[in-house]
Chain A
Amino acid sequence: SILLGNVQQRGYEVHYDVAGRRLGFGPGNCN
Chain B
Amino acid sequence: AYANDNDLSHSYIVSVSSLIPPTVCNRTRTALPQGPGKVSLEVLGRYGPCSKLNQGKSRNTPSLEEILRRDQQRLHLKNSRRLQKAIPDNFKKTKAFTFPAKTGIVAADEYYIVVAIGKPKQYVSLLLDTGSGITWTQCKPCIHCSQQRDPFFDPSKSKTFSKIPCNSTTCKILLEWFPPNGQDKCSSKECPYDIAYVDGSGETGFWATDRMTIQEVNGNGYFARYPFLLGCTDNNTGDQNGASGIMGLDRGPVSIISKTNISYFFYCLHSPYGSTGYITFGKPDTVNKKFVKYTPIVTTPEQSEFYHITLTGISVGGERLPLKASYFTKLSTEIDSGTIITRFPAPVYSALRSAFRKRMKKYKMGKGIEDLFDTCYDLSAYKTVVVPKITIHFLGGVDLELDVRETLVVESVRQVCLGFALLPSDPN
Is B one of A's binding partners? yes
Residues on A facing B (Cβ under 8 Å): 1-31
B: interface residue count bin: 35 or more
- List 15 extra interface pairs beyond A12-B268, A25-B293, CB under 8 A: A5-B342, A5-B343, A6-B340, A8-B392, A12-B400, A13-B267, A14-B337, A15-B264, A16-B266, A16-B307, A18-B264, A20-B263, A22-B297, A23-B295, A29-B274
CB distance from B152 to the nearest CB of A (A): 26
Which one of B82, B335, B423 contacts A14 once the chains associate, using CB atoms below 8 Å? Answer: B335
Interface flag for B292 (CB, 8 Å) = yes
Could you tell me the distance between the alpha carbons of A7 and B295 in the complex, rounded to whole angstroms?
Answer: 20
Answer whether residue B19 sits at the interface, using C-beta atoms and an 8 A cutoff.
no
B29, B263, B277, B344: the one contacting A18 at CB < 8 Å is B263
A31 to B278, CA, bound (A): 10
Q: Fill in one digit per residue for B139-155: 1 if any A CB lies within 8 Å of its CB, else 0.
A: 00000000000000000
What number of residue pairs across chains A and B have CB atoms under 8 A from each other?
Answer: 166
> Which residues of the partner chain B approach A12 to less than 8 Å between Cβ atoms?
268, 400
Q: Is the CB of B402 within 8 A of A8?
A: yes
Output the least CB separation between B309 and chain A (Å): 5
Given A19-B263, A26-B288, A30-B274, the answer on whether A11 and B402 have CB atoms closer than 8 Å is yes
User: Which of B75, B338, B342 has the most CB atoms of chain A within a 10 A radius of its CB?
Assistant: B342
Measured CB to CB, the closest approach of chain B to A10, in angstroms, equals: 4
Give the chain B neighbours of A17 by CB distance below 8 A. Answer: 263-264, 294, 297
Residues of A within 8 A of B342 (CB): 2-5, 7-8
Which of A2, A16, A24 gathers the greatest number of chain B CB atoms within 10 Å?
Answer: A2
User: How does the 8 Å CB contact mask read for B264-295 relative to A, with 1 for contact and 0 for none?
Assistant: 11111111001111100000100011011111
| Bound-state Cα–Cα, A31 to B277, Å | 8
Give the chain B neighbours of A16 by CB distance below 8 A: 130, 249, 257, 264-266, 307
Expressed in whole angstroms, the Cα–Cα distance for A13 and B277 within the complex equals: 10
A10 and chain B: residue at smallest CB distance: B271
